[in-house]
Each structure stands twice: as structure tokens, then as C-alpha cells.
Structure 1
Amino acid sequence: MARKKSIKKISWLNFALFFLAMIAGIFILQKSIVGATCANTGNCKESLSLKIENGAVATFSGQKITPPQIDLTKTDESRRVLGEAVLTGEKRIYVDLTTQTLTAYQGDVVFLQTKISSGKWFPTPTGEFTIWEKIRATKMSGGQGADYYYLPNVPYVMFFSGSGVAAGRGFSLHGAYWHNNFGHPMSHGCVNMRQVDAQKLYYWVDPSTNGNVTLSTGDNPGTKIIIYGEAP
């Protein structure tokens, strides 16, 4: 009798261990799938480099859209107006997903505050990040069926990483010309901004702009970004 009870106990123990192992396997698989997800692009690498397509037509939500034409031979960096105050102090950016608002500070002074559009089809990550690359423009594409999008000449792209989000995932702040619904989630994980606001932020944030592609370095580190809240 004691032997039968022992065998039964071992069988239940084996079943419990098998069940826990199966749950752990599912969890790890889900984490790996999420970890491989790219932001606003079908291929994590395709949007990480400079790409200009002035003859292309964009597609978003089933609509055909004409992208902005980009001339890399001209600089559009905003120049400081004579007499304008020079800001000093640490630069930092706060993105409030609850209010869909971005606020950029230098020291205690607000440099820019504007409405944004965070992730709708895939959530924008929360945490503390830094800008690791700036690209004047690139292409972003992905989705399927009614969710398919093809967006050439995405302007003023500021890629960020940190808080468990690798640089290669492609999350960024960038201008958006394909919608004007700022203040509401509209992206696949990135932070959409009006083009004029993205341009202003692009030339203000660190790393200091050096050509059409700028990488952060020890001597030219990226600006800190804090993303918090929950998208509506």
C-alpha cells in the first residue's frame, strides 16, 4: 500500500513539473516573439539607415499619400534668431502616453511641448532611454491587409534604446506626414510628431547633428528620454 502511494505521489509530482515546464516554455516563446518585434517597420534593419525615395507613393490605412520631397543638398537646420536666449543645462525629453504629450526641457526651461501619437497597433515601450542614432529620413513599412503601410521619406528620425529595448528594434521619435490625428495613438510603436515639431526637436537633441546620419558616442552622447503612462 505504501509503495502504491509513493508511486502515485511521484506521478503527480512529475505531472506538476511537466506542467510548470510547459508554462515556462510558452512564456519564453512569447518573450522571444515580442523581443523580435520591430517598431514601425517590417524589417528591424531596413529603417536604421538613410533612405530617400522622392518618386515613391506612400500607403497608410488604404490611402495613397504623397511623401515630402527631401533634398539632402540643402540644410534645413533652424538657426538661432538674433537676441534669442541661449538655453543651458541638461537636455531631457518626457513622453506622457496618457495625455499623448511630449515635453522637452533644457535645464528647467521648456524647449518644446507638443501632442504626439504613440503606438496603436503595437505599444510604445515605457522606461528610460537615450537617443543612439539620428537619421534625416528613412523608409518604414510593414503590416498586412488593411493594416499594410509603406512610408518612404519618414523625416527627422531619432532612434532610442534602453530599458530592455535594444537599438536594433527600431523604436524612434519621428515626423509623420500620413496623418494629422496627433493626441491619439496612431503608430506601430514609435512616437509620431508633426513634421515641424520633429524638425525642431531633431536639431536640438543630442547627439549633435553631423551630416544626415549621426550616431551617439562617448564624446557626443544622446539625449535622455523618459516615457511613462498608459496610452488611451
Structure 2
Amino acid sequence: MRKSILMVVFLLILSPIFSFATPEENISSRLSGRILLDTSNNGEAWYLNPKDLHRYYLGRPRDAINIMKNLSLGVSNEFFDSMSENLPKKLWGKILIKPHDLGKAFYINPSNGEAIYLGDPKTAFFVMRNYSQGINSNDLEQIPVAEINTENNEKIKTATSNKWQYLGWWGKINTTDVPVHESPTASSSILGYLNTINRIKVLEEKSGTLFNGSNLWYMIDGGQYPGAFINSSYVEAIPQPTPESNPEIPKEIKEGEFWVDVNIEKQVLTLFKFNEPVFATYVSTGRAWSPTVRGTYRIWVKLKKGGMSGGPPLVPYTYNLVDVPWIMYYKGSFAIHGTYWHDEFGTVRSAGCTNLTQGDAEHIFSEVLPLTSTKNETRPSENSLGTIVYNH
């Protein structure tokens, strides 16, 4: 009922167990690059950024300035002039800036690839709204929110960073043998490599050395390399995890209470506060031979770290894992926990438990009951029952 780290070669050959497809397309990917106008909420406008598939608020002209400055892609005059009539589809929906032509900015219409000149910030604001499409609040709420933070200090006059609703955004590795670095420089130590089967979570964007045509680096969360760096040229956004729009709330849940929903089909875990999604992320649940148990349970013990082992006849291989992080057992040996041995989230991969990135597991661990103590092990009490986990 636990995790695997060692795999017998013949098992890999004989068993059709792996599912490495990109998570299914959802509203965040279908509307990528569009300006969305909330028809249910006074016509509020949002830009759905293709890079991270999050929406950014377009309430005032200064919001358009922020988006133009911080979410745009710089291109040379030569490239733009040669391609303006036939821009590649990967640029549709993006904002392009010509830094050597007075910083002129263009919004690339995601419907037909037309380059639309944005002009000054006030004009840009109205142009972007004019090219919007309507969306109702229920659908809009399925798209995670991000915002651009601006910080002023003595050393750096203006520094910007992005804040994402669910502590980062999910991306896929777009080629083989991608080096994972200790810091955002190509000369830093290589901690390992990732491949196209891997899904990682981008936590921060950092400027670093020019590598593979880009000086933008991502600090990542995942299983094997949390806190490490990958050059941005190797990462593409995937459809972001979408919480249940109409969750089936377990009957035991009271108003204002937290509970965990695990959608096994979509490989998405959502932390709810009654009917409001608080956090959503991709997971890996059990394979066909050791499926994740379905039903409603309560967390019966939390361990900051613990060992996990198993083997035949429950699973067709033997494993013995030490120091598995952020374990939340809810039924016997079934648990939600952090993972350090793979980065194949969004696919069935485990021996029955629900695998999370190390960062996501720590976050969920800190939010659910019983309240964490200074000890490694925490158990519920009569006055503090464990949080409900609903697997379906």
C-alpha cells in the first residue's frame, strides 16, 4: 500500500502501467492568451497569460502597463518585420515588445495571429478590453489567479515578481536530459536531469546567466529537486489543475471546515474550506495493481518523516523508503505524502498512496488536522479530529 523506488526491469517491459500524457485540456488552456471579460461582475477584465496559464487583472490602465512591462516577450525589429504577417502559433495570445523600436508593444490576437499595436498605456488598456471575450464568473473562477508584485528598495529601484494562487504553476519538460542546476547559472552544479515524462511546479522566476537562448530561470518544486533551477527554455505550461466546480461535500463537513478532495480520474487534489477551493495541485495516485482506496476517511496520524516499505503479494516489486516527508495516513497504510523519488505528477504512479511534490505536501500538512506539534508524530484527539479525505 506504499511507495516504489526500485523497479524490476522485466516489470517495466511487460506492464502497460505508465501514463505520461499531458493532463487533459481544460479552461485554462483552451482560453490561453485571451482577454476575458467577466459578464457576471461589472465587466472586470483579465489577461490569461500563455506562459503560466494564470489570469492577471486588467482593472485600470496601470494594470496594462504592468502586463506590458512584465509579461511581454522582447523581439528584434528584424524578426518582427519578417514574421508580422505570419507569426508562429506559439506566439498567438502573447504580448510582443520591440525594445529597439521605442518599446512598441503588440498584442497577438489568439484567434488569428494578427499583431495589434497597443500604443500608449491608456490606449493599450482600451485596445485589450476591446479584443476581449465574455466569460461568466463560474467559469472564470476555474482559472487560477496571479498578480505582479512590485517592490522598491535602496539597492533595486524596482523589482517585480509574480504571485500565483496555488503557490506556483505547473509545467512540463519539453525535451530530454534537461539539466537541473543548484543556482540560476549554467556553471553551477548539476543536481540531476529531467525528461519529457516529468512535470514540475515553477515557484519563482529568476534572472541568471544566458543559457540555451534565455537568461530566465525557474526555481522549481517537485519530487527530486525542490528548490533547484531549470532554464525557462526547457519548460512549457500545461493545463493548470482545476478544482471541482460543484464539489460533493462529505456529510460530516461543517461550515468553515477544511477537507481534502482527491479526484483520482483527473489526478488533482483540492483543499477545500467547506465549498471554497483553497489550494489545488496535481498528484500521483495508485496504479492498477494497487489502486488508491476510494471513500471518505479521517487522517489518523501525521508524521513529518517516516519509513515506508512493501512488496509482494500487495505489489509486484519490493521497496524500502526512508525519511518520506509530510505523511498523512488516513486509512491503514494509505496516506497523502511528499515524494522524493519521481516527478511524474498528474499520472498514476504510486503503490496506493497519494504522491505530492515536497512543497505541496508540506503546505497541505500544515493546513490539515490534527494540529502539528513539535514532535515527529501527531495524532488526533477527541477535541481535534483528523481532517476528512475524500477519494473518488
* TM superposition score category, shorter chain reference: 0.5 to 0.7
The 1:108/1:146 distance shift into structure 2, 3 A limit, reads: closer
CA–CA separation in structure 1 for the residues paired with 2:5 and 2:300: 28
1:164-175 alignment runs, 5 A limit: 169-175=332-338
What SS does the aligned partner of 1:225 have?
strand
1:195-214 alignment runs, 5 A limit: 195-210=358-373, 211-214=375-378
The TM-score normalised by the length of structure 2 is 0.35
**Residue 183 (structure 1) aligned with residue 183 (structure 2):** no
Q: 2:355 aligns with which of 157, 181, 192?
A: 192
The offset of 1:146, in angstroms, is: 7.5
Deviates more, 1:90-99 or 1:106-115: 106-115
Residue 40 of structure 1 aligns with an amino acid whose one-letter code is R
CA–CA separation in structure 2 for the residues paired with 1:194 and 1:154: 11
Residue 264 of structure 2 aligns with an amino acid whose one-letter code is L
Q: 2:317 aligns with which of 135, 140, 147?
A: 147
The offset of 1:148, in angstroms, is: 2.4
**Equivalent residue number for residue 130 of structure 1:** 298
Q: How many residues align?
A: 146
CA–CA separation in structure 1 for the residues paired with 2:8 and 2:308: 16
**Equivalent residue number for residue 258 of structure 2:** 91
The offset of 1:155, in angstroms, is: 0.4
1:71-82 alignment runs, 5 A limit: none
What SS does the aligned partner of 1:118 have?
coil
1:1-232 alignment runs, 5 A limit: 39-40=1-2, 59-61=5-7, 89-120=256-287, 121-143=289-311, 147-161=317-331, 169-210=332-373, 211-228=375-392
The offset of 1:59, in angstroms, is: 4.2
The offset of 1:151, in angstroms, is: 1.3
Which protein, 1 or 2, shows the higher relative CO under an 8 Å CA cutoff with sep ≥ 6?
Answer: 1
The offset of 1:108, in angstroms, is: 3.5
Residue 330 of structure 2 aligns with an amino acid whose one-letter code is F
The TM-score normalised by the length of structure 1 is 0.57
Q: Deviations over 1:5-55 (max 9, x none)?
A: xxxxxxxxxxxxxxxxxxxxxxxxxxxxxxxxxx117xxxxxxxxxxxxxx
Q: Percent same amino acid at aligned positions?
A: 32
The offset of 1:220, in angstroms, is: 1.2
The offset of 1:101, in angstroms, is: 0.6
Residue 222 of structure 1 aligns with an amino acid whose one-letter code is G
What SS does the aligned partner of 1:200 have?
helix
Q: Deviations over 1:144-197 (max 9, x none)?
A: 698222211100000003xxxxxxx31100011111101111111111111110
Give the conservation status (yes or no) of the 8 Å contact 1:61–1:146.
no
Unaligned residue ranges in structure 1 (runs of 5+): 1-38, 42-57, 69-87, 162-168
Residue 328 of structure 2 aligns with an amino acid whose one-letter code is M
Give the conservation status (yes or no) of the 8 Å contact 1:60–1:178.
no
What SS does the aligned partner of 2:299 have?
strand
Q: Deviations over 1:197-216 (max 9, x none)?
A: 00000011001111211001
**Equivalent residue number for residue 236 of structure 2:** none
CA–CA separation in structure 1 for the residues paired with 2:340 and 2:273: 27
The offset of 1:107, in angstroms, is: 3.3
What SS does the aligned partner of 1:201 have?
helix
CA-atom RMSD, angstroms?
2.6
What SS does the aligned partner of 1:60 have?
coil
Give the conservation status (yes or no) of the 8 Å contact 1:102–1:113.
yes
Residue 198 of structure 1 aligns with an amino acid whose one-letter code is A
Residue 209 of structure 1 aligns with an amino acid whose one-letter code is T
CA–CA separation in structure 2 for the residues paired with 1:222 and 1:193: 19
CA–CA separation in structure 2 for the residues paired with 1:148 and 1:217: 34
Q: Give the structure with the higher percent helix.
A: 1
What SS does the aligned partner of 1:147 have?
coil
